Amino acid sequence: MFKRILFPVDRSRDTQDAAETLIQLAQFCQGQLWLLAVQEGEPDSEITQAIDSFLAQLKQGFTNQGLTTQVLQRQGIPAFTICDVADELNADLIVMGCRGIGLTQEGANESVSNRVINLAPCPVLVVP
């Protein structure tokens, strides 16, 4: 089933909501998790430190739930980077939150989750 699960994260409420669903799914499937944070633009040490701290907290939370968890941090355009990492990891599933902007005419081309759905090398579970 879903043994290798990629979870792209940011510090939004959407990530927290998706994490709750992910815990249940990963426990059921006995899957391994990869938490991925993608930083756009030029590297910034202050932002990188904040991301490191956030990833460490998330990892601890998943580990406390009995889940094997790895963390990754990459630079790039989020949707493309998420799909590239899913391919590199040979992920069975991508689980991610959505902000709902893809539901509007203006947001359809800007939505990260919409782009990932269309480009991903594996199934994508979008948690509203």
Residue 71: per-residue pLDDT: 98
CATH number, residue 65: 3.40.50.620
Give 13-45 pLDDT, tens digit per residue: 888 889 999 999 999 999 999 999 999 888 788
Domain count, the chain: 1
Residue 110 has pLDDT above 90, yes or no: no
- Which residues are paired to 97 by β-bridges? 127
CA distance 21 to 75: 26
Q: What range defines the domain where residue 18 resides?
A: 4-127
Percent of the chain's residues with pLDDT above 90: 73
Token pair listed for 85: 């990492």
CA distance 35 to 8: 6
Residue 128 has pLDDT above 90, yes or no: no
